[in-house]
Amino acid sequence: MESVPNFIGGQWTAVSAHEFSNVINPATAEVLAHVHLDGAEEVHRAVQAASQAFPDWRQTPPEDRIQYLFRLKQLLEDNLDELARTITVENGKTLAESKGELRRGIENVEVACGIPTLMQGYNLEDVARGIDEIMIRQPLGVVAAITPFNFPAMIPLWFLPYAVACGNTMIVKPSEKVPLTMQKFFGLIERLDLPSGVLNLVNGGKPAVDALLDHPDVRAISFVGSTPVAKYVYARAAQSGKRVQCQGGAKNHVVVLPDADMEATTQIVSDSAFGCAGQRCLAVSVAVTVGEARKTFRDAIVEAAGLIQVGSGLDDGVGMGPVITRESKARIEAAVETGTRQGARAVLDGRGARVNGLEGGHFIRPTVLDGVAPGGPLSSTEIFGPVLSLTHAASVDEAIGIVARNPYGNASSIFTSSGAAARKFRYQAPTGNVGVNIGVAAPMAYFPFSGWKDSFLGALHGQGRDSVEFYTDKKVVIERWPQEWSRKF
Ligand code: NAD
């Protein structure tokens, strides 16, 4: 079996590394491809290609640069079904979820097409008599994105369109668990006839990441993944003087008040907790019920979750696919076991799931744990699987206190019909993304994808205007042109 090739300097290149791992279809356990785990040498070649491409790409007018993005958008639309299928086969999520992720990715291509406006600087005449001051944004040079397994297309697209539209050249290092989506995507990039070296794809594991973090010619790193790796990447990249943005893990809480529309709330929370098999960084992981919502919500969510059909994401009617690896399945089931030993009650237990005809698949059915202690390990450790923990508070203030004790700060939501309670929550919730009667508080591409505390390290987020700030340097020019120093015409 061939290993997944790299795309460097406009060419697909074979791989010279020795260590490989299998890319596995999580629904069937079938080996789809081999991917090399090194990649350090390839990073050096990609940085060289990107460095060579930079001077000319930087001088290409923004208006011309975005023409490639308009074509990319069309190619993504035309190939949406095939790309979605690849995502589902290597990641496990349902086809509808794969198409949804592609739509959110395309949205970023669309927003980056506004670069001729978004990238403008500003100026002021006569900051002192006869002296003008101008702020210009310039691209950084070679930048890189290191991305996780759970959104194989959307997350690279949080960064790539802005980086190249701003005039940078880029290297993408996808997750070694799901390299096939980016392989397909770069097949489309090849059809754009971009100048070679502007966009490069390097597969690999930690050695490839370290090579990007240490390379003196890589100016900026965009990372998305788990918090321990985010912290490592942040520190190591900063050590070599790079600009870094690292999105980390999550433990998203939702507060359910008794005045919420319980039917709609249940459906929305169920979709959030169990969609993508709980492997979304914005998935609800803990529901904090207030007052009498405790029983009504618990009974309703157990019923809704129990109705979700689990199976291959390619099959019609399936609402939830497998989790990514056998190790993830074992880890998630062990977390449920620990939780129940510590006093939580599995009111819906999805462990040991089997799907007919897919016996090798990494399936777990939706799981609901009741009576989870606030502040205990189940309410503060990222599980990243289809497990919803229920905990209880006597008041909104107590519920907000529980959200605040969470070390992560990616997202939180409240469900209520009270404007006052919603405002209090919006004001006080210590998370970067907040939902009011929203289950997955995912910012549109023209807003920053925020995240606080252990969910984000850095200052500028991905998407929208923050991306333009991240991928450009500001240059301030102060000019004086006295009449007496110039030839008179
Ligand atoms: P991960 O941290 O294992 O891997 C992410 C990337 O880092 C991959 O490209 C991987 O090759 C690389 N990597 C892994 N270990 C490394 C190491 N020791 N040194 C250097 N590089 C290393 O994450 P994952 O399992 O692929 O993705 C799931 C995680 O990503 C979850 O924690 C989830 O919450 C998080 N995530 C966060 C967001 C967000 O917006 N905050 C979005 C999506 C996913």
How far, in Å, CA of 245 to CA of 463, rounded?
12
Go through 105-125 and write b for each residue having 16 or more CB atoms within 10 A of its CB, e for each that does not.
Answer: bbbbbebbbbbeebbeeeeee
Q: How confident is the model at residue 1 (pLDDT cuts 50, 70, 90)?
A: low
Q: Which of 9-18, 220-229, 410-419 has the lowest mean pLDDT?
A: 9-18
Return the residue matching tokens 């950084």. Answer: 140
> Under a CB-based contact definition with an 8 Å cutoff, are residues 339 and 38 in contact?
no
pLDDT tier for residue 321 given thresholds of 50, 70 and 90: very high
pLDDT tens digits, one per residue of 150-181: 999 999 999 999 999 999 999 999 999 999 99
Q: Which of 157, 181, 209, 447 to mutate to test the pocket of ligand 1 (most atoms within 8 A of CB)?
A: 209
| DSSP string computed for 230-271 | HHHHHHHHHHTT-EEEEE----EEEEE-TTS-HHHHHHHHHH
CA of 229 to the centre of ligand 1 (A): 7
All residues at 6 or more sequence positions from 372 whose CB lies less than 8 Å from its CB, including other chains: 286, 339, 344, 378, 379, 389, 390, 391
Residue in 281, 276, 272, 352 with CA at minimum distance from that of residue 320: 276
Phi and psi of 181, rounded to 5°? Answer: -65, -45
> If you average pLDDT over every residue of the chain, what do you get?
97
Query: Catalytic amino acids?
Result: 281
pLDDT tens, position by position, 404-437: 999 999 999 999 999 999 999 999 999 999 999 9
Q: What is the DSSP string of 49-90?
A: HHHHHHHHHHHS-HHHHHHHHHHHHHHHHHTHHHHHHHHHHH
Cα–Cα distance for residue pair 93/313, rounded to 1 Å: 5
- Considering just the CA atoms, what is the radius of gyration of the chain in Å? 24
pLDDT confidence of residue 378: 87
Q: What is the pLDDT of residue 443?
A: 98
Question: Would you tell me how many other CB atoms lie within 10 Å of the CB of residue 313?
Answer: 27
How far, in Å, from the CA of 255 to the mean position of ligand 1?
A: 27
Identify the DSSP state of 27: T
The whole-number pLDDT of residue 329 equals 98
- Residues 112-134: what's their mean pLDDT? 98
Quote the pLDDT of residue 456: 98
**22 close to 178: Cβ distance less than 8 angstroms:** no
Type of residue found at 123: N
**Of residues 30 and 19, more confidently modeled:** 30
User: CA of 246: how far to CAs of 143, 330, 374, 429, 462, in Å?
Assistant: 14, 27, 27, 21, 9
Please give the distance, rounded to the nearest whole angstrom, from the Cα atom of residue 230 to the centre of ligand 1. 7
Report the percent of the chain where pLDDT is more than 90.
Answer: 95
Per residue, what are the HEC states of 357-369?
CCCCCCCCCCEEE
What does the block give as tokens for 335?
Answer: 């977390």
349 band by pLDDT with thresholds 50, 70 and 90 = very high
Residue ranges of alpha helices (H) inside 288-395 are: 293-306, 326-341, 377-380
- Reply yes or no on whether the pLDDT at 483 is more than 80: yes
Cα within 13 Å of Cα(1), Cβ side: 13
For residue 16, how many other CB atoms are within 10 A of its CB?
Answer: 10
d(CA 278, CA 313): 14
Which among 93, 108, 150, 159 is the best mutation to test ligand 1's pocket, defined by most ligand atoms within 8 Å of the CB? 150
Q: Two tokens at 394?
A: 């006597």
| Kind plus residue range of the DSSP H or E element containing 464 | helix 464-470
Cα–Cα distance measured from residue 69 to residue 18, given in angstroms and rounded to the nearest whole number:
36
pTM of the model: 0.98
- When comparing pLDDT for 96 and 2, which is higher? 96
User: Does residue 209 have its Cβ closer than 6 Å to ligand 1?
Assistant: yes
Q: Which two tokens stand for residue 127?
A: 């900051």
Q: What is the mean pLDDT of residues 186-209?
A: 97
The C-alpha atoms of residue 122 and residue 90 are separated, in whole angstroms, by: 45
Where is pLDDT greater, at 230 or 485?
230
In tens, the pLDDT along 225-248 reads 999 999 999 999 999 999 999 999
For ligand 1, atom 13, the nearest C-alpha belongs to: 206
* Structural contact between residues 168 and 159, judged by C-beta atoms closer than 8 angstroms: no
Please determine, for residue 375, whether its predicted confidence score (pLDDT) is greater than 80.
Answer: no
Dmax over CA atoms of the chain, in Å, equals 89
pLDDT band, very low/low/confident/very high, at 486 (cuts 50, 70, 90): confident
Nearest CA to ligand 1 atom 34: 249
Q: What is the pLDDT of residue 377?
A: 82
Give me 413's structure tokens: 């939501």
